[in-house]
Amino acid sequence: MASTVEQDLTEKLETSSLEAAKHEISIGKEAADMIKAQANEAFKNGDYEKATELYSKAIEIHPDAILYSNRSFAYLRREWYGYALIDAKKALEYDSRYIKAFYRRASSYMALGKYTLALSDYEYVTKACPNDKDATMKYEECKKVVTRIRFEKAIAVDESSKSVANQIELNTMIVEKEYDGPHLDVDGLVTKEFMYAVLPYFESQKKLHKKYAYQIILQILTLLKSLPTLIDITVPKKHKFTICGDVHGQFYDLLNIFALNGPPSEDNPYLFNGDFVDRGSFSVECILTLFGFKLLYPNHFFLARGNHESLTMNQMYGFEGEVKAKYTAQMFQLFTEVFNYLPLSHCINNKILVMHGGLFSKDDVTLKDIRAVDRVKQPPEEGLMSEILWSDPQPQAGRSESKRGVGLQFGPDVTERFLKLNNLEYVVRSHEVKQEGYELAHNGKCITVFSAPNYCDTMGNKGAYITITGDDIRPKFTSYTAVPHPAVRPMMYANQLSMFGLM
Amino acid sequence: MDKRAVDNSNIIATNNDACQCKLYAIERGYWNDPYLKILAGSIQQERRTPEISLGYYVRVHGVRYLIEKFIKLTNNDCQIINLGCGFDTTVFYLLDNENLRFKHFVDIDFEEITELKSNKIHRLPSLRNKLPMDNKSLKIPCGFHSSLYTILPADLRNTTQLDNQLKLLATNSIIDFTKPTLFLSECVLIYMSNEHSLNLLKYLSQTFSQCCLFLNFEQINMNDRFGEIMFENLKQRSCHLIGMESCQSLNSQCERYKNTNYTSSFCLTLNEYYKKYLNINEKRRIERIDGGLDEKELLEQLFEHYCFSWAYRDENNLGLNKITFE
């Protein structure tokens, strides 16, 4: 730091006497120091505008690394990241080893989305201060971000690109006369006859014509776009309502649910609580069936988003592969778009809240907050939306880090407080496989329902569904075992290298 | 076209698969390895399930653990020979660690691979500068030589050829048949017939009869549905697991060592390793990387079908029996 000042000094020495020069410098520095003190005070009080003004004044008199670094900090607080970066760089010009300046520069880079540059600054700091825990933590965090972003960029579907929906030309799709499956008429209206024909058609492993599949998916897109993030359901007195959990592409078990509990209708409404696809290799049949019923009975058939209604999960666990194998890559893109519009939660008779994962990392979450969530996106790594889709209940009170690495684990006290705040009776969620297909936790206030029996053909669990009536919302459980399915193994369409093992 | 070349290409392709999977895992943060990307290039950007990444993690760490034990037990006075090495980066990993010095490291694979690997190392300072060069300039066609590290082309099914190559190193005092030697073999033996692998094992135990340890990572428990499926899947890629016979059980893995003059042998599945010997904090860390483990059962199934098996000869009573997981 002193070196540049000394250079100034040398110049001055050449033109004036030593004494005079020394005097000038000390006056300058003192004045700057006084102003700096005032600036620091303003900063402490949160008056960042004043702080920047004062730092600027001090810099005019006697610039140094500390002043630039402090002003950079103030700019960061004001979110003027461009200026913050300039100042941080300036500070390093004055003192190339000033650790705080590296910090400021790293923060500026982070804010500007230049994560790789931020990373190398954090790396420097951790090397220079190996015992600084904060530095190490920032470095690790930054490294994670860099790795993740680099990767997401590489595989992401460009979300700002035109909606795939607009690119689909139904008119050019001809239905060949050899096609022996059910048809939709020209406006694509799903009828009861159509659904009753399509279920056995799927059962014999036949493929719905892609034109009709597209028609269904496009109509669902329009329908879902009109829905709020949290949907209120009213179940009238004496009327039945059924809640199902994860289905995971197990189409034959889905048919079994309809056989046991009756097919969907206005008198037999259903709510499917997410994870319709992936793992099981009949995901296409499942999702088209569920979408079909939604179109047929929009006010008596409900679908909530699960963590598997997302791009990364579909890429890993088979849905993308299956759609590409049975239809097209474009259709998969359309599914990705559609899944973004699935509502996140349902509230039945103002008493039962249903969502795929679970509750939250904070205590003051209300139904209003859930309604306000901007859900039209891929599930983020944190926040309400992420927690709704990923959290799990835990037996002990309080909250813990999730064993899954996303979301959290929440205890009976969290459930209790949430229910009280929102005037609810209990919460229903899914997301975890259970031996009997369901499980009561938190004194019966947090219920898990999972509807995919013998999950992945290996778990040997039962599936279950919950039924209630409008006047008696105490849950009744029905468990069932798996039914046979054609010899198509789970994850049949997932990444091929997974199927070769380790080589 | 040389018939042998046609036969080998599918085995050679497995190196590419292993690299793709490893690079993905490294990119995701399962472990660090700055060298593999340099050797193997970029990967197809496709999501993979965490089970595979975890499998490679365990493979890399389990093998490294035992290598380190071997080096320490022999007081750095040892040789390491990596059979069917592919683009494996173990030598660079060891060179980066002061405590893991060794006398010499030899990578062996088909010449198609060794040529590529050698060229890359020659051309790229980031690799070449890690390797001290001595005065002896030994020219190895399709290979590479430096003071501590040599790449030898050889078809492991041809013990005469292998013998010639190794004798070349011995006569030039680069390796010593009497020095403690660790052989690494990761998913190698299963691609050759039992006859070939037994020949190879016997040749090695005879040539390095004083003190050697053969460390194998490979399939196991293959006589079930999972094994059938894997066998079929790979057959469709013209990749034949012709050495399946020795991969039926813990017993069959150990039997072949007994029949080829090794004094003791051990074997454990990845499941056992994962349950007993992996640090719990590490386990937590790696299980969370790919958005959490969706279902543990699939991991356990995969891990039940791979194993570490090793066998040794210890005429000098160095204590090779101490080389095990803890």
pLDDT in tens, A329-359: 999 999 999 999 999 999 999 999 999 999 9
Strands A426-429 and A352-355: parallel
Give the distance from CA A348 to its chain's centroid: 24
Nearest CA distance, A500 vs chain B (angstrom): 6
Two tokens at A362?
């904070």
Which range, of A107-111, A210-214, A396-400, averages the lowest pLDDT? A107-111
Closest residue on chain B to A455 (Cα) = B295
Cα B74 from Cα A174, distance rounded (Å): 74
pLDDT greater than 90 at residue A134: no
**CA of A148 to nearest chain B CA: how many angstroms apart?**
7
- Say yes or no to pLDDT of A474 above 80: yes
Which A-chain residues 389-418 have CB contacts (< 8 A) with chain B?
390, 402-406
Q: Give CA separation, A456 vs A243, A356, B18, B245, B294, in Å.
A: 22, 19, 26, 29, 11
B20: closest chain A residue by CA: A497
Residue A270 in contact with residue A244, Cβ under 8 Å?
yes
From the list A382, A348, A326, A375, the residue with the least C-alpha distance to A467 is: A348
Name the fold adopted by A215-501.
Purple Acid Phosphatase; chain A, domain 2 (3.60.21)
CA–CA dist B138, B293 (Å, integer) = 50
pLDDT at residue A148, rounded to an integer? 74
How close does chain B come to A299, measured CA to CA in Å? 32
Report CB contact under 8 Å: A502, B21: yes
Q: What is the pLDDT of residue A459?
A: 76
CB contact under 8 A, A312 and B47: yes
User: Touching check for A452 and chain B: CB below 8 Å?
Assistant: no
pLDDT value of position B294: 63
Residues of A in contact with B297 (CB under 8 A): 456, 458-459
Domain boundaries, chain B: 3-322
In the set A209, A248, A300, A308, the catalytic residue is: A308
**Would the annotation count B48 as a binding residue?**
no
Strand partners for A246 = A450
pLDDT at B9: 83
Q: What is the CATH number of domain B3-322?
A: 3.40.50.150
Is the confidence at residue A456, as pLDDT, over 90? no
Distance from CA of B168 to the nearest CA of A (A): 30
Q: Which two tokens stand for residue A239?
A: 């009327």
CB contact under 8 A, A503 and B290: no
Kindly tell me if the per-residue pLDDT of A65 is higher than 90.
yes
Q: Which of A147, A404, A498 sits opposite B48 (nearest CB)?
A: A498
- A494 near B49, Cβ under 8 Å? yes
In the prediction, which pLDDT does B63 show? 97
**Residue B245 assigned ligand-binding role:** no
| A500 interfaces chain B, CB cutoff of 8 Å | yes
CB B114 within 8 A of CB B143: yes
Tell whether the torsion through CA atoms of A296, A298, A301 and A307 is positive or negative: positive
Q: Which residues of B touch A494 (CB under 8 A)?
A: 49
pLDDT at B95: 95
Backbone conformation region of residue A245, classed left if phi is above 0, alpha if psi is from -120 to 50, else beta: beta
**Is A356 tagged catalytic?**
no
Contact list, B25 vs chain A (CB under 8 Å): none
CB–CB of A317 and B287 under 8 A? no
Domain ranges in chain A? 1-155, 215-501
State residue B3's pLDDT score.
42
pLDDT at position A6 is 61
Check: CB of residue A502 under 8 Å from CB of residue B187: yes
- Helices and strands, counts by H and E, chain A: 19, 14
Segments in chain B below pLDDT 50: 1-6
Low-confidence winner among A9-23, A221-235, B89-103, B219-233 (lowest mean pLDDT): A9-23
Query: What local confidence, expressed as pLDDT, does residue A9 receive?
Result: 60
- Determine whether the annotation assigns residue B227 to a binding site: no
The per-residue b/e assignment along B192-213, b for 16 or more CB within 10 angstroms, e otherwise, is bebebbbbbbbbbbebbebbbb
Confidence of residue A27 (pLDDT cuts 50, 70, 90): confident
Answer yes or no: is pLDDT of A87 > 70: yes
| Contacts A317 to B, Cβ<8 Å | 49, 294
Test B47 with A403 for CB contact under 8 angstroms.
no
- B143 in a known ligand binding site: no
Class of A1-155 in CATH: mainly alpha
Higher pLDDT, A416 or A76: A416
pLDDT over 60 at A13, yes or no: no
Give whichever of A22-31, A89-98, A203-212 has the largest mean pLDDT: A203-212
pLDDT (0 to 100) of residue A499: 61
**Res B186: pLDDT:** 96
Across the interface, of A143, A154, A502, the residue whose CB is closest to B187 is A502
Chain B contact present for A315, CB below 8 A: yes
Whether B315 and B211 have beta carbons less than 8 Å apart is answered as yes
